[in-house]
A and B are shown apart, each in its own frame.
Chain A
Amino acid sequence: MTVATDDLEALLDRASSGVAFDGLRIDETDDGYSLEAGENRWPGLDEAALGRALESSDEYVTNWRYWQETVGGEGTARRAFLRWCERAPLADAEDAADAEATVDAPLAVPERYDALRDGIDREWGQLSITARFVDIDDPDGERVYDLWHVDDADSDLADLEVYDEPRDAREIATHDDDGRYRPLKTAPTLPAGWAFTGLSGDDLVDAIGFFYPATIANWHRERRGALDVDHWLETAERQTGIYDVIDELPREAVEWMAEACCVDSQCLRRREWEYEDGDELDADGGDGPFPCREPCSLVIAAARKWAILESEEERTYELELTTSERNQLEELIDAVAEGRVDEIREADVNDGANRYRARYLRAKRFGEEGLEATPVDE
């Protein structure tokens, strides 16, 4: 490992005003400089001796340089996220550290430097991030980041499409594996088969921003206890124009909506918004990694539809069905709701949502106007 001369010069420049970062501490006292690097302490150093002592503490010096000079951005979400990527202690982590203490305990500089030689892996939704040294044999503290789909963790890089421009993440995230447009970026449908390698910290943060917009900013706010949640009612009441109607959606329908849209199978965000402050929804908010701080635009658009539909009166209909046909309706709705229509085999007529079964039911029970059901409450 090497400590560049300009690293030392930069540190010595700052020594007189004090340095305290990640286990490295330099103070100017009456009898010269004092240096701490992890467990080691050197009191009463003159400038030359300080230089020599720093050279023997190269990991602390290059770590200081990477974070203070290359990354910078004290207090920013970007910096906190990059620190999280390599399991570095986070300035705001006093409370949050407990949750991570078992598997993800922060690493001190020597342990982190060992781990960065092999690469430190983190998951961010469906993304897998590896932080590593640029130069593994002779690390100078400079980190780079690799990014791919969690499903590709064991794939050979040669089998993946390799990118280095963060903006390419936009294209990758636009369609799912079936070629359908993904308007919800946090839907758990990100296609695999690609990799970004050797990204700078800034480029990594940009790429994440294109895959999962605003997740880093909201994660950072949540860690600091500063996540600003807008609950359903205040979001709904804010709407105007064609969305003005959504605050009329009955409370129980908001429950159904949350159950339909805001669950782990549909979105990687964890719903933090409730019906209103002090009035929690029964629907589970999910275990997603990213906090969801207010109903998204898809939920707002769907809510408009449901607000209009829920304004209709209920009626009673009479229709003729066998017990199996009634059960088949359940299976049909369930298959569509779970998105498993495409998985039903052509000849699997035991599945109520099989296409031939559905066509048979339609042929038997539909008249020219569709389902033959008679209103009985007129």
Chain B
Amino acid sequence: MQALVIAAHGSHLNPDASDPTYAHADTIRETGAFDEVREAFWKEEPHFREVIRTLESDEVFVVPLFISEGYFTEQIIPRELRLEDWDPDRWESDGTSASQATLEAEDVGKTIHYCGPVGTHDAMTDVIIQRAETATENPDVGEGVGLSVVGHGTDRNENSAKAIEYHSDRIAERDRFDEVKALFMDEEPEVDDVTDYFESDDIVVVPLFIADGYHTQEDIPEDMGLTEDYRLGWDVPSEVDGHRIWYTGAVGTEDLLADVLLERAADAGADIGDAREAVRELAASVAETGADSGPEPNAGAGAGD
């Protein structure tokens, strides 16, 4: 038997923070690729501390639903899961290349394949592009359009920016969009000045965040000038300084993210059969009907409480 654990932040204050975790877990449950699929949280239940004991499977694949390698993926999650012999060096990562490490969980005697976070997986590049397609309702979006990947950024963790830049570079290499730029909330170059960085009239802005919350639904739309007050909402696209801004909301809510979770587990040796194809078809059909498109303005604290 094999189990998948999706390890996410969650929130004590905002019930929406865990929505993407549940949504992607359910998508993967539907594929039947794992005997057990379990959500686990730092701020909700089941807590990281207790999740492994709720599983019957001996082989457990843990994928952090986080954007960057850093404090949560390197310290908190392995510590709380009681992964014996964990050391960040086991990942041999340069900040965006963590793949997996196989360890024992002390309290339960199970084999844990501890994977790198979804945010730095190569397949995340496709999710960002899919997000641009969903938001613009244009599967061929790219020509004449600029794309900005937006991250939190922080002086405390250099890996935070690396993940954003990594995917921006990969998208730029594909020559699909006229311009691609990594921008940040808390470091230079800042998303506040988004129009300064683009010549294209149309700019798609994709925040590389897991859940919609305070940052993606309040801070960033106001900082970019999409709206005076987030409570009033904003249009997609919105006119700012003569540009049209297609703001997509958190990339983590994109259906295709379930595919990245599956790929992380498969890279670590999970047998997932044709689950990826099933998830990709599902995500494509949702994107086509536009059932999920357009962020809903939404109040409440983000995942960071």
A-to-B contact residues, CB < 8 Å: 73, 76-78, 167, 170, 174-175, 181, 183-186, 209, 213-214, 216-218, 221, 228, 238, 240-241, 293-294, 296-298, 301
**What 9 additional pairs, Cβ within 8 angstroms, besides A213-B54, A298-B12?**
A170-B22, A174-B15, A185-B44, A186-B45, A228-B107, A240-B75, A241-B76, A297-B43, A301-B305
Give A182's nearest chain B residue, CB to CB: B15
Q: Is B178 an interface residue (CB 8 A)?
A: no
Q: For A78, list chain B residues within 8 Å (CB).
A: 56
Contact A175 B71 (CB under 8 A): no
Give A214's nearest chain B residue, CB to CB: B50
Contact A214-B54, Cβ < 8 Å, known A240-B75, A294-B49, A297-B12: yes
Give B300's nearest chain A residue, CB to CB: A181
In the assembled complex, the Cα of A77 lies from the Cα of B107 at a distance in Å of 15
Q: For B51, list chain A residues within 8 Å (CB).
A: 214
Q: For B41, list chain A residues within 8 Å (CB).
A: 297
Q: For A217, list chain B residues within 8 Å (CB).
A: 50, 53-54
Q: For B11, list chain A residues within 8 Å (CB).
A: 183
Give A184's nearest chain B residue, CB to CB: B45
Contact A216 B54 (CB under 8 A): yes
Q: For B43, list chain A residues within 8 Å (CB).
A: 183, 297, 301
Give B106's nearest chain A residue, CB to CB: A228
Partner of A218, one of B13, B15, B50, B75: B50
Partner of A183, one of B13, B22, B75, B107: B13
Contact A175 B50 (CB under 8 A): no
Q: For B233, list chain A residues within 8 Å (CB).
A: none
Listed by A's residue number, 5 A-B pairs whose Cβ atoms lie within 8 Å are: A185-B44, A214-B51, A217-B50, A294-B49, A296-B45
Q: Is B47 an interface residue (CB 8 A)?
A: yes
Q: For A174, list chain B residues within 8 Å (CB).
A: 15
Q: For B46, list chain A residues within 8 Å (CB).
A: 209, 213-214
In the assembled complex, the Cα of A238 lies from the Cα of B56 at a distance in Å of 27
Contact B15 A175 (CB under 8 A): yes
Q: Is B230 an interface residue (CB 8 A)?
A: no
Q: For A293, list chain B residues within 8 Å (CB).
A: 50
Report the minimum CB–CB distance from B104 to chain A (whole Å).
Answer: 15
Q: Is B86 an interface residue (CB 8 A)?
A: no
A-B contact count (CB 8 A): 64
Contact B79 A213 (CB under 8 A): no
Q: For B50, list chain A residues within 8 Å (CB).
A: 213-214, 217-218, 293
Q: Is B26 an interface residue (CB 8 A)?
A: yes
Contact A214 B53 (CB under 8 A): yes
Q: For A209, list chain B residues within 8 Å (CB).
A: 46, 54
Report the minimum CB–CB distance from B153 to chain A (whole Å).
Answer: 18
Report the minimum CB–CB distance from B42 to chain A (whole Å).
Answer: 7
B-to-A contact residues, CB < 8 Å: 11-15, 22, 26, 41-47, 49-51, 53-54, 56, 71, 75-76, 79, 107, 305
Contact A181-B15, Cβ < 8 Å, known A78-B56, A213-B54, A218-B50: yes
Q: For A170, list chain B residues within 8 Å (CB).
A: 22
Give B47's nearest chain A residue, CB to CB: A297
Give B80's nearest chain A residue, CB to CB: A238
Give the residue among B15, B41, B45 with the most A Cβ atoms within 10 A: B45
Contact B54 A183 (CB under 8 A): no
Contact A181-B45, Cβ < 8 Å, known A73-B56, A167-B26, A228-B107: no
Nearest 10 A/B pairs, CB to CB: A213-B46, A214-B50, A213-B45, A183-B12, A217-B53, A181-B15, A214-B46, A185-B45, A217-B54, A174-B15
Give the residue among A213, A216, A217 with the most B Cβ atoms within 10 A: A213
Q: For A218, list chain B residues within 8 Å (CB).
A: 50, 53
Report the minimum CB–CB distance from A242 to chain B (whole Å).
Answer: 10
Partner of A296, one of B14, B47, B76: B47
Contact A238 B45 (CB under 8 A): no
Report the minimum CB–CB distance from B71 to chain A (whole Å).
Answer: 6
In the assembled complex, the Cα of A298 lies from the Cα of B11 at a distance in Å of 10
Give the residue among A73, A167, A174, A214 with the most B Cβ atoms within 10 A: A214
Partner of B42, one of A73, A181, A297: A297
In the assembled complex, the Cα of A221 lies from the Cα of B53 at a distance in Å of 10
In the assembled complex, the Cα of A291 lies from the Cα of B39 at a distance in Å of 21
Report the minimum CB–CB distance from A160 to chain B (whole Å).
Answer: 23
In the assembled complex, the Cα of A286 lies from the Cα of B44 at a distance in Å of 22
Give B52's nearest chain A residue, CB to CB: A217
Partner of B44, one of A183, A216, A221: A183
In the assembled complex, the Cα of A167 lies from the Cα of B44 at a distance in Å of 16
Give the residue among B14, B51, B56, B71 with the most A Cβ atoms within 10 A: B56
Report the minimum CB–CB distance from B18 to chain A (whole Å).
Answer: 9
Report the minimum CB–CB distance from B2 to chain A (whole Å).
Answer: 16
In the assembled complex, the Cα of A185 lies from the Cα of B56 at a distance in Å of 22
Q: For A214, list chain B residues within 8 Å (CB).
A: 45-47, 50-51, 53-54
Give A216's nearest chain B residue, CB to CB: B54
Contact A301-B12, Cβ < 8 Å, known A183-B44, A185-B45, A240-B75: yes
Report the minimum CB–CB distance from A254 to chain B (whole Å).
Answer: 19
In the assembled complex, the Cα of A314 lies from the Cα of B13 at a distance in Å of 31
Q: For B71, list chain A residues within 8 Å (CB).
A: 241
Report the minimum CB–CB distance from B34 to chain A (whole Å).
Answer: 14
Give A220's nearest chain B residue, CB to CB: B53
Contact A238 B79 (CB under 8 A): yes
In the assembled complex, the Cα of A375 lies from the Cα of B77 at a distance in Å of 46
In the assembled complex, the Cα of A293 lies from the Cα of B45 at a distance in Å of 14
In the assembled complex, the Cα of A73 lies from the Cα of B39 at a distance in Å of 22
Give A73's nearest chain B residue, CB to CB: B56
Report the minimum CB–CB distance from A133 to chain B (whole Å).
Answer: 26
